[in-house]
């Protein structure tokens, strides 16, 4: 009798063990093979991405291992409590979780994506059944706001959605596990961002930006657009903007555009630097009268038209070449089409289409009636000053320093423009951009801001400065812009580019030139002779 009882207990134990192992085996088969057959959650493949670095190897973007959290609400004993606890631990919406838990059509509910190890520990501490962690990746940007619009961001599935993350996506995927070196020099980027932000605050400007470009390779060493944003945060703080104003917005840039009128005049042999031009109080073209932004003398020599930024003088120079030639020239410089670069963001320029007559030729000549993206403008200037050869902007580090293309203007024209830009800084409106020893050349631009109904906003300016250095043998172009700055006590209330943008460009050059290996040719300081 006793043996029979013991035998039965052994048999029952064996059966229970076999059943338990069978259940475990069935569960393993279900999880590994059959899970997607019953409407369960299919695994999501997260594409690996290469690191993005600046030209010197500084890390700009990297994948960090994270996990996505899913839940099987069918095994929860209290769905409302589970939703509350998971929301508190992960930051997810409690209402969304509860709605998902109560939806019988979905056996799996996404709780949160890209959770950190610390959040995972909080979730595990809840002791809830039916939770599953799926490995994934999260893009991390160690420099935060610096170069945010240039580098761009990825979506929760680690696909690029803006900036170089999107524009270089093929290269980033192809080099997964490796690195993709950009043209950006974060030393230059930091300096440019600091100076633009300081000027923006000083003159309470709505926005600001800047570009530093190598004129011989087209490499963009720095590009700043303010306001910016933190790419490590999915949300935006008040005042943040992910819009890159240097490539996505177009502006009437005003007097910096006069550079092209003089380049065209030199090409067509229609302007002499020693030639006198009548200025007067206004210049009539049909029913229109062109005026100066500031008081000008009765006559100006050709070089002083650019140095003093005369609208009337520049209009006369532009009209000598005429509308057809002006349009051909600007087309050849790439200013009448969207600029192409490694950034996916771009903007179409605005210019006269149906009617490009005499008044349009005159106003386009001094930078009104035509709106272009700042990067497009900088690229055109680089082509004008680099010996007259076409250049294309690039955000990828190049192995060769000279990537200039075909000739777009004569080398002699390029040299004349460079000499004239140097004269603007030594004898004209660009004096505050001069940096001893670096032979800075440049041009100011103080443009009226277009408003509604085709009218300009009273007393509103966009000020800019474009600089090339060294002027005689240029290596870099620096361009800075401020949107609607206001004068200060120190500037006597003036907000013109000579007071706002020119000094900013000078400070940028003074700080970046030594880092870029540009020699300072300033004569040595003479010490006082000892008595």
**Residues 191, 446: Cα–Cα separation, whole Å:** 24
- To the nearest 10°, report the CA torsion of 283, 286, 316, 362: 110
Is 255 in the active site? Answer: yes
**Residues 385, 404: Cα–Cα separation, whole Å:** 12
**Residues 91, 68: Cα–Cα separation, whole Å:** 13
Of 159, 468, 225, 426, nearest to 308 by C-alpha is 426
108 touches 71 (CB < 8 A): yes
Of 248, 221, 251, nearest to 344 by C-alpha is 248
Q: Where are the beta strands (DSSP E) in 47-187?
A: 51-53, 59-71, 109-115, 131-140, 179-181
Helix axis angle, 79-90 to 117-126, nearest 10°: 160
Which residues fall within 8 angstroms of residue 190, CB to CB, at 6 or more apart?
A: 146
DSSP 366-395: TT-S-BB-HHHHHHHHHHHHTTSB----B-
DSSP tag of 257: G
Helices (H) and strands (E) in the chain, counts: 17, 14
Active site residue: 162, 183, 225, 255, which one? 255
DSSP tag of 432: G
Catalytic residues, by residue number, are 255
């Amino acid at each position: 009798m006793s043996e029979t009882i013991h035998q039965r207990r052994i048999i029952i134990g064996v059966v229970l063990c076999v059943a338990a192992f069978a259940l475990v085996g069935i569960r393993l088969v279900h999880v590994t093979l059959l899970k997607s057959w019953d409407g369960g959650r299919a695994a999501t493949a997260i594409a690996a991405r290469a690191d993005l670095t600046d030209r010197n190897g500084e890390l700009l973007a990297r994948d960090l291992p994270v996990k996505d959290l899913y839940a099987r609400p069918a095994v929860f004993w209290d769905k409302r409590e589970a939703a509350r606890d998971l929301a508190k631990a992960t930051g997810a919406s409690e209402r969304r979780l509860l709605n998902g838990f109560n939806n019988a059509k979905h056996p799996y509910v996404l709780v949160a994506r890209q959770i950190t190890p610390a959040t995972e520990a909080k979730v595990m501490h809840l002791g809830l059944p039916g939770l599953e962690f799926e490995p994934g990746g999260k893009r991390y940007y160690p420099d935060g706001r610096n170069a945010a619009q240039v580098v761009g961001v990825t979506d929760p599935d680690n696909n690029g959605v803006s900036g170089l993350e999107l524009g270089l996506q093929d290269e980033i995927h192809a080099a997964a596990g490796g690195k993709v070196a950009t043209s950006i020099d974060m030393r230059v980027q930091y300096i440019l961002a600091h100076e633009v932000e300081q000027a923006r605050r000083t003159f309470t400007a709505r926005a600001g930006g800047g570009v530093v470009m190598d004129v011989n390779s087209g490499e963009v060493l720095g590009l700043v657009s303010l306001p910016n944003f933190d790419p490590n945060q999915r949300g935006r703080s008040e005042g943040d903007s992910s819009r890159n104003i240097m490539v996505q917005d177009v502006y009437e840039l005003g007097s910096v555009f006069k550079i092209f009128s003089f380049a065209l005049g030199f090409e067509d042999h229609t302007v002499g630097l020693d030639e006198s031009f009548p200025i007067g109080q206004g210049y009539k073209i049909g029913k229109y009268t062109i005026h100066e932004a500031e008081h000008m003398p009765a006559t100006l020599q050709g070089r002083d038209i650019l140095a003093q930024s005369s609208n009337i003088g520049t209009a006369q120079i532009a009209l000598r070449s005429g509308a057809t030639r002006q349009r051909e020239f600007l087309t050849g410089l790439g200013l009448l089409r969207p600029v192409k670069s490694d950034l996916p963001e771009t903007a179409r320029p605005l210019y006269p289409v149906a009617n490009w007559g005499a008044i349009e030729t005159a106003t386009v000549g001094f930078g009104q009636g035509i709106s272009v993206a700042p990067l497009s403008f900088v690229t055109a200037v680089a082509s004008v000053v680099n010996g007259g050869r076409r250049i294309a902007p690039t955000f990828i580090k190049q192995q060769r320093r000279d990537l200039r293309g075909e000739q777009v203007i004569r080398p002699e024209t390029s040299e004349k423009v460079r000499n004239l830009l140097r004269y603007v800084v030594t004898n004209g409106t660009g004096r505050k951009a001069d940096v001893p020893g670096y032979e800075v050349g440049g041009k100011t631009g103080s443009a009226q801001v277009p408003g509604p109904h085709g009218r300009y906003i009273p007393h509103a300016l966009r000020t800019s400065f474009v600089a090339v250095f060294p002027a005689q043998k240029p290596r870099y172009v620096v361009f800075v812009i401020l949107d609607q700055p206001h004068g200060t006590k120190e500037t006597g209330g003036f907000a013109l580019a000579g007071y706002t943008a020119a000094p900013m460009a000078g400070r940028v050059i003074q700080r970046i030139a030594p880092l870029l290996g540009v020699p300072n040719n300033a004569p040595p300081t003479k010490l006082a002779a000892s008595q």
